[in-house]
Structures are given as structure tokens and as C-alpha cells.
Structure 1
């Protein structure tokens, strides 16, 4: 530990052991067909310790609410800013751990100064010496489960939490602007993101102090506390966020980060307490990646690769970190185990650490206090904790369909998952599914009323049917202040025998483009972006798109989900706009480009087969079946004899795909052919199946990885046949293995 760090450690811990003039959003009457309301679920002010360390030393919760209402407010960089359009609702979500403690340490009359003056002075001295270093030190103690007990004392913490709740009440204007009592639970074990934002339905029914990572960093413990709160009459919900930075821990399928099995009780606790996840925020999107979705041409959008707290190491794992894969794993678990822990909806947020949040490319003024408060700093790539400001994107927005703009109506919309996320734009999106929706429904003036009566909205479950395919109605209109619409897509995922699949369908699009007869994909909309001027024109695209679509490949025996994704035409990214203003070449790099396509993502609609429909599914082979027939897994020696230095043929019994795989003698494996063609020509070997990768034979398993996530393969001999089971396919033995004759 260097001298500066030793000084701060001593200073912080010596005293205690570790253990309204602007226009408002329009009020709307109660509407049984529901209105869309745009809001913020995730923002910090100087009352969060890290925001203060990043240079936001002046703003507070009131600043955010004033800004959200459209009032000009001061940016920590020393200039005034104003939101482009007022919000309908929002909440400040300060980090629960050490919430407001800097302000308490500075206030001579605070409970902290009265109860623990030595701790307050040490805390104040550490912050003044180096706020960022002090933040790192505190974060390290939290990650290790240690506590500065005096700062977490309810006598000290409760008054700060009460002020946050009181400020939310002060700005709550039912029918016009809605606020919530909320906070962030910031569990970061080993620098891996497991964060959740906690929302309370009624500010008069909240605990004395929040449950924090100082109490436990285990989500199961948080859910248990939430159950206790609900039993006491305090209705609340959690929103997980930044799954993309969880290093595979946000959506586990076998065991959680403590080693606890993912069983029905775990799934039910998550579903009961955590109906939503954050799809988009300033640190990227959590939908999917090109590695997880190689056939999705729009997957490479704001893919953010960074370790929390600047930790070094390989890129975070993708499996278990992205929403679409979690949905796919969820339906596979439903089929194999009878429960699905990942039936959550989506919202958007900012995670801005300055209370004046940029939601627009053209109005981007940074998100980390004074670290990135000028165009020069941002374009020069100013960093904080290893985070390059060029990677950061404007905030996402949460949209809810609710009867009115009140706490009760908006909370209930979040609870039932009738929500969607946008990249920051205000695209309006409706999505319904049902068994009797028809192509003529949009001709009806009251088509939305009919859709509710005859189907279910985003976030809901289709009632089970055994025969015909479901039909989906999707409608979208452009943001008046942004680009026209390119297309509307429906993303489908389904599962068979522990394997999950996805397909993206273009269902409505602008112009006279024709889908490719072979792939069904619609050609690009084109681009009007002028990179030299960082401008675009709305001479292409559509103002409104709508379609009624029937799944052409529906199998009533298989679990499935559907969600819609709406894309705008290409527009310049903020970094392009600001580079041009500075007379520089627009930058681009991993995770961001000079041109983007803003978008919206709906919550899914799920289909779960009836017991009768499941009986019609083609049976698969399970490990349990093999064991009943007397088959045993090969030992290490037998696996080496079968594989090492040899090429084997592998057939996927679910898809029919055939591979030839060479397992070298130096611990590297290579897929050489796919369906009889050289893998290098198909791209499938690398993109879909891991390509040239390390492997190891240990404990009766061949161990390798895909997209940074390890899995193992057990091989069983049954008579003269070899059958293999992957550990991430929920107990199915889906692969036939045949050694090539030499």
C-alpha cells in the first residue's frame, strides 16, 4: 500500500473498526386504455459518495427533480443546463451504503458529528485529501463485506433517508409529475455488478433505513428483506441493472455467486421481488452482443466492455450478463425444470452520477461530474476508474403504460411489466399478443381497447393453446424530436431439449424495400448522415409503423417468448457531433461508432405450453435416461483415448448440425467442418461454437468455454455409441459422438 493510501486508510478508519417556473409535463385524465409516461429509474447526486468523488459536490435530489420538471439548473462544470423535454416521473436512487455521509460529516449539527465526531473528522479529512481514492477505499471495504459501523448506524443513516423520502414527497404532483421513494442496493462482490434499484409504492410505508450491501451482498438476502417489508405493508420492487457488467452473475442458471443452486424457491423469490431489469443506460445496453447473437445484424449497438472499479482482467463473461440470453435460458429452464426465474420486463435508466441527466445525443454533457464536463474532456477520452468517456452514451428512458400519472398507477404498471425501454428517445410503442388478433384491427378507431379485450400486452403471458399460432400487434410512432423510424422487429426465442434458439423477424418497415427471399431480412434503410457536419435529414424512414404478425414457425409444444424492437434511421452519435464542433475527426472504436440507430425494446410476451401440448413434443435423451440404461460417464483416461490428438464427428440431435472437431495434443481444439463445409468458410465455427479454443480434460469432463463462459461436456458410452451432454443444457444428452476412422 503506498503512502497516500495508508494515510487515507488511517484517517478514515482509526476511529472505528471495519466490520417551479418551467412548464410541467402535461397532466392527463385517467385512461382505461392507458397512456405512455416517460421516466427515470436510476440517478445519483452528490449524496452518493462516488458522485461526490467524481466532482459533483453541489447537486442534490432537489436538483434532479427541478431539472426533470424543465427548470434550468447548474451543472457541476459551472454552466446551466436544461432538459430537452420534461419527464413524467422519476426517482433519485442514491447508493444506500454511506448515503449522504459526506454532507453529514461536513454539517456541525448532524447526528454523525454529534454521535461520532472522531469518525466524522476522519471521514472529512479523507475526502478532502483525495475524494476518488477515498471512494476506492470505501468500495473495497464494501466488496469485502466490511463496515465503518458508525457511518451505517441507523441513528446516523435514518435522517438522511427520511430527507430523501421527504424531498420526493415535496415534488410529487399527482396527475402531472410522479416521484418515488427509492434507492440503489450496490452489491459488488469481487467487482462484479449485482446492483438493484429499490422502489416503494407508498412513501408513508417505508423502513427506517434501507437494506444495504453492508447488511448483505447476496440478492437472496435482499429478496428475503423485501418479503419481510411486504409482509409489514411496505409494497416495493427491485430493478436489476447493468447486467452487462455482472461478469455472468446477474442471470445464473446452475448456482448463484454464493454457490446456492438455482432452484424453484430461488426463481420464485426473484420473480416475486424483481419484475424488471434495466436494458439501457449510460454504460451501454444489456440486450445482447454479436457473440451471443451472431445472426442479428443490429446486435453490435453500444456494447460496453468495462470492469467495475477499474479491475483488470479479461472481458466480462457474456453468458449470464445479457437479457436476451437470460430470456432464452429461462424458457429452457421452464421446459427442463418447470420454472423460469427470468420472466422480467425491461426499463431504461441513466446511472448518471450528476443529477442533470443527458438523454439526447445533441444534448450530451457528461455523466461523471467534473471528470467529463466539457466537450474537450469527453473527446480526449477523460477516464475515471478506467472508464473512457468516449464509451459512455446518453441515458436510457423508462416508458410505462399506465391509467394515470400517479405513484399507484405507475408502480402497478412496473409490477405487471407493461413497460419498455428506449435508448433515450421518446418512441411510442404498443405490443399485444393473442389468439384472435387479426390484420384488420388497425382499421378500428378503438383498436387498443379491442387489443386489451382480445389479447395481452407487453409483459404478460399468453393463455395456453394447443394448436394455432399466436398473433402479435405492434405499433410505433417516431419521437417528434428525433429520427424517423427504420423498422419494427419481433425477436423470438424458444427452447428444445435444453437448447435455446432465437430469430429476429422484420415485421414492418419504411419505404418500398423487399425482404431477401432467402433470409427474410429487409435491406438497410440507407443513411442521410453527413459526417463532416454531424447532421442528418428525415427524408427517409417513416413517422408511424404498424403490423399484425403471426408466428410462421410456431410449435405449440415448445416454450417461447416474443418482444419487439423498434429502430430509428441512422443518426450521428454525440461523439460525432462534439468532435465536429471541435474541428476534429469523429471518433469510433470498440463499443461505439460515429453513426448509431436509436431504438426501443418492449417487455416480452411469454408462451408456456399446456401439459397436453408438452406431450406432443419430440422426446429428447437425458442424462437420467442414460444412467437408467446403465451408461456411465467416461473417465479422464477414456476421454483422452477418445479425443486427444484426434478428430471426432459430432451431431447435434436437436438441430441436425454436424461438426468435425480436432482436439490437439497441446490443449487446443478446433472446429474444422460445419455440415460438411470448412468452418472457416461458414464463420460458424468461430462465431457460434467457439472456434479455436483451449480445452482441458479433468474430473471426467472435457472443459472449454464460449464467449468467456466455461462449460463442460460429459461423454457416455451406451453399447457401441457415444453420447455427450453439455453442462449448460439442463440435463439433456444432445450430441452423438463418432471417432473418425484413421
Structure 2
């Protein structure tokens, strides 16, 4: 508890200084501009390299990981991301060893800011709360305690659990856990010229009013971070979160910069991106939202949030690839222009604002109405693992995400949401950055030069412009031309020059090389998805095939052997045939691999080979998966 006390003193001292300055009418003195102290990276490339990471990772510091006997802490999670092995609980009370076949380039541990101190108190035998029923249940994996803590985050005015915080000094435990989180990130960060690994100080804000998901991952640019994380207890709504981050980090702490990444809109019943501007000027608030949230998590282990068939808007032909990795497979009610509740238990209505395409089009509407697009969102993906295992996304070696609750094939196939056969290993974020450093990767995220994948490590570039050459795919200077004459993914097309009739877009994709033991999968096709609001105010989407062809490969699901092949590299150049300069639009690329066996098929095959009775999900679960990548849009 000595470290807890020291942390508490640090926080109290900071608060005393700031309070004294405020009462005296003075502002804190400005420090010199922040410059990261490190060696220059030897891999610096002005044309930018691709780096793969995971920015949504829970460890034993999160209540819903610890309750499932996960003992991997933030230090262990970063070790895992860099290629070291960790031990996870199995179904028999023992452990299993897991290790990445390839290290990641960067990662962030995003433990829940909520209950961060309470979990620490429940682990400490010297804490007065240690013997409370809640702490005992947390340590013993009591599902009722998980439900109790989860429902606490669904309240309109959430409060910390009295059983812990009325008898223990929760702020001190919180400060100590937050300090260790920072220490783990600092210990993992490679400040040498090799720049082999980048870590970010981060946490998750886990608001869930009425059981509609509102979660955000908060990622800091440097080691300069606020004294404590602003959680759902301190800021019960996301507007308060953004204002606090702006005040306490960007404006109040020299060298501090931050962004928030919303995830699992597919569980939000329209609430995460409902168009509202409480208590302030619409233009100012829309700008605040756009500044603090430049990205959205399009995919993770709880499913795909790109698009959904069966909704009235956006209008467009059904897209078969929108059936990919869906949590809601039953019939559902369309929220229309309203919102619902209980999405986190797979209930309530489904909204067009639960999916990226609808959100992006709503941003176009707002831009037209108030002159600011609050939903100008780049795309990324991550795992949301609760095992402390960032980047564990391989279909052929999926260990689950919830510790002892998914410690065997049978448990993974028979669990309930957010686990069970509809679960996914999750995805990865890729960035195009000059080097593997905090500043370069964060700046790439800020400018939205990112793409998300469902776990594959294919490399995808996209550029848009008015003067790109028709033969750009065959040019050795494709990247140079893309930056010189156009804009990359995440950017805005420049003004239409005189004589130009329509913008052109080039997308280049290289297959994931895989490993010597498990080579990567060939590419099937590249598509461009366009969204716009037409002259009658209707929200529309259209999908265009620009490279590759459908149906080159097949899978024998009994052996998981593949036949046929696609391409190791694809490139397509496409000019919008229906361009209307009077209509705002966005364009992003989707790159799809040939099919392979899904993890659930492999687990079913393993049970059958062992002579075990197969669960019912082996008859109903999806057999194959076509891994994919989604680029950030380019806007007109």
C-alpha cells in the first residue's frame, strides 16, 4: 500500500497546486513545447510505412477480465504484443500457453477506467474491502458480481460500489493502478533507433446507459497524461468526456494530446451517434466531436459495424458482404429516426446510426446543415480481447477472449454473448506513418490515414484525386503520384480543377505474407463503396467492383484445405461514373481475401476428431470466413 499512498499524495499535491492557482486568479505556467526524448528512428520513410497494432486490450486490471481468472497484467500484455508467451486459464483449472506468431508494431492497454481502483482494492489483502461479498465474488468468478458491476454502468447516474469504496480509499487505489498502467506503457516503448515497438497510455470509458453501448477507447499521444482517467463515474455522458479531455489534456497539460475511439456501434440502438448538441452552440460542439473522435472501430470480437442489410436507410442494393460476422442474426426492428435500449444484451431496435455507412452519411447531412461534419471518421479495428493478448486474431489458433469462460473448444462454442460461436478473434488497426513512434502513429490516426482489418495483415493504400493517371496501377511511382497529385485515405479531395469531370481513386493491396508455417491467404477482390445524400435528401450507398474476381477459391470444411487461388497483389483505378459536384460524398475501399475455415469450424473439427459429442452450434455456425480490410474514406 506504500505505492498507493505515494500516488495519492501525488494526486493531492497536483490538486492543491491547481486549486491554489485557480483561487488566486492565475493560470498554471506554460511549459516549453513538448518534444519526445528519443533516438531518431532508423526506419523513417517520408512516403510512410505500414504498421499493425491493437488499440483495444483488457487485462487483469479490468473487472470483466479478472473475474474470469485472467492474470495477465498490462506489463504482460505488452510483452505478449512484442512476441513473448503468456499463460491463460484453461477449462480444467490449469493454464495454456499462448504466443503471437508475429509481434505487433504497436498496442495500447485499454482497461476500463470504471472499477480500476475497485479491482485493485479487491486484490489487496490489506484492504478493508477484501473480505466483502463483492470482492470475494470478483476473485472467485461469481457471475452475479459481473452482472452487478455491469448494471452499475447502465445507470443514468452511475456511482461507485459502496461495498468497496465506503471502506477503502478508492481514489488512492485508482491512482496507483493508473500509475502502473503508465509504467507498463513506458517500459514497453522502444525509444532506441530500432523503433521496434510503440505503446500508448490509454484506457476505456465504458458508459452504457439503458444497456446501450456508448464505449470509447481513450488514447494519449505521449506520456503526458491527466492525473486520473475520466471514467463514466466522473463523466456520465460522452459530451462530458470530450470536454474533460479537452480541458484537462489538450488545453490544461502541456504536451498532452488525446483522441477517443468509439466501438461497437452495433450494440448502441442508435444512441452512440444520435444527432444532438446539448447545452451549447451546434457548430462549436460538432467541431469538438470531430476533433476528439477522428476514428471509429469498424470491427472487433463483438462483430462487424460496417453495414447491415434490412435497414431502410442508407438506400442501395443489398450487399451480401454486409452479412459478415453479425451479432444480430434474428429479425430486428428498425429504429428509424429514433433510438432504443438494451443493445448490449442483443435486444431493442437497430439503427442506421449503428453502422459506419449510416453514420458517415449522417455526417454529410450535418455538414450541409451547419457547415461542420461531426462524423468525419476514419476506420480502424482491434480485438477487445479480455485475455491481455493484443493481436491474437488468427482463426487457426483462437484461444477465446474471456479467460476461463472460454478456455476450451466446447466453452467457446457454447458460450453466450459476447462470447459463443458468434464471437470473433477480432481485428487489427493499420496506419501509414513515417516511422514507428508515438508521435508518427498518433498523427497518422489524427489525419485518418488508417485502415482496419478483420485480423489479416494485408497492406492497403488508397489515393483519390482529379489528375491521377489512368495507368497509375502499372507505375512504379504510384505512391509518389498519390501524394503529389491526390490525397491518401482519410483526406479531403481538393477543389475540382477546371476541366476535370470526376475524381479518380486508386487502391493497391498486397496479401498478408503470413508465416513459414501458415502462409497468408490470396486476395479475391477490391471494391469501392460510395455514400452520398442525393438532391431529394435521400441517403444512398453504392458498391463498385474495381479489381479481382469473385469465386476463385473454395474450402473443404471437413479438413480446412483450400483449393483454387486469388492474387498476391491487386490494384484498381476507378473514376466515379455518377459524380455530381452538387452532392457531398465519401468513398472507402473494401479488400476481400479468398475464404478459409472460420475458428468455429476448426474447433468443431477438433471435437469431432477427439470423438466428442458436437454442440448444436457446430450445425448452425458459419463455416468459412473471408477476411477483409476497410480503408478510411476520402471525402468530397
TM-score, normalised with respect to structure 1: 0.71
1:67 corresponding residue in structure 2: 80
2:409 corresponding residue in structure 1: 375
CA contact (8 A) 1:371 1:377 kept: yes
1:237 Cα deviation from its structure 2 partner: 0.6
Structure 2 residue aligned with 1:139, among 139, 150, 154? 150
- Closer, same or farther in 2 for the Cα pair 1:587/1:486, shift >3 Å? farther
1:548 Cα deviation from its structure 2 partner: 1.5
Deviation beyond 6 Å, 4+ runs, structure 1: 259-262, 306-311
1:101 corresponding residue in structure 2: 118
- Closer, same or farther in 2 for the Cα pair 1:131/1:487, shift >3 Å? same
Determine if the alignment matches structure 1 residue 191 to structure 2 residue 181. Answer: no
2:27 corresponding residue in structure 1: none
Deviations 1:430-474 (A, max 9, x none): 000011111222343232122111110001111122752001111
CA contact (8 A) 1:67 1:82 kept: yes
Partners of 1:298 and 1:123 in 2: CA distance: 44
2:513 corresponding residue in structure 1: 480
Partners of 2:618 and 2:363 in 1: CA distance: 35
2:603 corresponding residue in structure 1: 578
Q: How does 1:502-651 map to 2 (within 5 A)?
A: 502-510=541-549, 524-537=550-563, 539-583=564-608, 584=614, 587=617, 593-607=622-636
- Closer, same or farther in 2 for the Cα pair 1:313/1:90, shift >3 Å? closer
2:328 corresponding residue in structure 1: 305
Partners of 1:184 and 1:264 in 2: CA distance: 27
1:595 Cα deviation from its structure 2 partner: 1.4
Determine if the alignment matches structure 1 residue 398 to structure 2 residue 398. Answer: no
2:365 corresponding residue in structure 1: 332
- Closer, same or farther in 2 for the Cα pair 1:588/1:459, shift >3 Å? farther
- Closer, same or farther in 2 for the Cα pair 1:491/1:262, shift >3 Å? farther
Q: Tell me, which stretches of 5 or more residues in structure 2 are unaligned?
A: 1-40, 330-339, 515-519, 609-613
1:208 Cα deviation from its structure 2 partner: 0.8
1:106 Cα deviation from its structure 2 partner: 2.7
2:52 corresponding residue in structure 1: 38
2:503 corresponding residue in structure 1: 470
Structure 1 residue aligned with 2:174, among 129, 154, 157? 157
1:515 corresponding residue in structure 2: none
The structure, 1 or 2, with the larger RCO (C-alpha pairs under 8 Å, 6+ apart) is: 2
- Closer, same or farther in 2 for the Cα pair 1:73/1:553, shift >3 Å? same
1:308 Cα deviation from its structure 2 partner: 9.8
- Closer, same or farther in 2 for the Cα pair 1:359/1:440, shift >3 Å? same
Deviations 1:490-510 (A, max 9, x none): 000111232111100000114
Determine if the alignment matches structure 1 residue 92 to structure 2 residue 109. Answer: yes
Partners of 2:184 and 2:260 in 1: CA distance: 21
Partners of 2:437 and 2:119 in 1: CA distance: 33
CA contact (8 A) 2:298 2:452 kept: yes
Partners of 1:403 and 1:576 in 2: CA distance: 40
- Closer, same or farther in 2 for the Cα pair 1:261/1:245, shift >3 Å? farther
1:303 Cα deviation from its structure 2 partner: 1.2
CA contact (8 A) 2:118 2:170 kept: no
Q: Secondary structure at the match of 1:528?
A: strand
1:241 Cα deviation from its structure 2 partner: 0.5
Deviations 1:587-645 (A, max 9, x none): 5688x5111211000000000xxxxxxxxxxxxxxxxxxxxxxxxxxxxxxxxxxxxxx
Partners of 2:523 and 2:634 in 1: CA distance: 23
CA contact (8 A) 1:30 1:403 kept: yes
Partners of 1:245 and 1:312 in 2: CA distance: 8
CA contact (8 A) 1:245 1:305 kept: no
1:47 corresponding residue in structure 2: 61
Partners of 1:315 and 1:122 in 2: CA distance: 33
Determine if the alignment matches structure 1 residue 76 to structure 2 residue 89. Answer: yes
Q: Tell me, which stretches of 5 or more residues in structure 1 are unaligned?
A: 1-26, 511-523, 608-742
CA contact (8 A) 1:42 1:92 kept: yes
Partners of 2:427 and 2:444 in 1: CA distance: 18
Deviations 1:133-163 (A, max 9, x none): 1222122223221223556843231111010
2:491 corresponding residue in structure 1: 460
1:69 Cα deviation from its structure 2 partner: 1.1
1:327 Cα deviation from its structure 2 partner: 0.8
Q: How many residues in Structure 1 have an aligned counterpart in Structure 2?
A: 552
Q: Secondary structure at the match of 1:487?
A: strand
CA contact (8 A) 1:587 1:594 kept: no
Which has the higher mean CA deviation after the structures are superposed, 192-201 or 315-324?
315-324
Deviations 1:294-337 (A, max 9, x none): 52121110011299989667444132111111111211222244
Determine if the alignment matches structure 1 residue 280 to structure 2 residue 327. Answer: no
Look at both structures and tell me which one has the larger radius of gyration over its CA atoms: 1
CA contact (8 A) 1:441 1:447 kept: yes
- Closer, same or farther in 2 for the Cα pair 1:308/1:61, shift >3 Å? farther
Structure 1 residue aligned with 2:245, among 223, 226, 243? 226
CA contact (8 A) 2:263 2:296 kept: yes
TM-score, normalised with respect to structure 2: 0.82
Q: Secondary structure at the match of 2:78?
A: helix
1:547 Cα deviation from its structure 2 partner: 1.5
Which has the higher mean CA deviation after the structures are superposed, 132-141 or 64-73?
132-141
CA contact (8 A) 2:302 2:418 kept: no
- Closer, same or farther in 2 for the Cα pair 1:388/1:171, shift >3 Å? closer
Root-mean-square deviation over aligned CA pairs: 2.4
CA contact (8 A) 2:294 2:376 kept: yes
CA contact (8 A) 2:317 2:542 kept: no
- Closer, same or farther in 2 for the Cα pair 1:530/1:587, shift >3 Å? farther
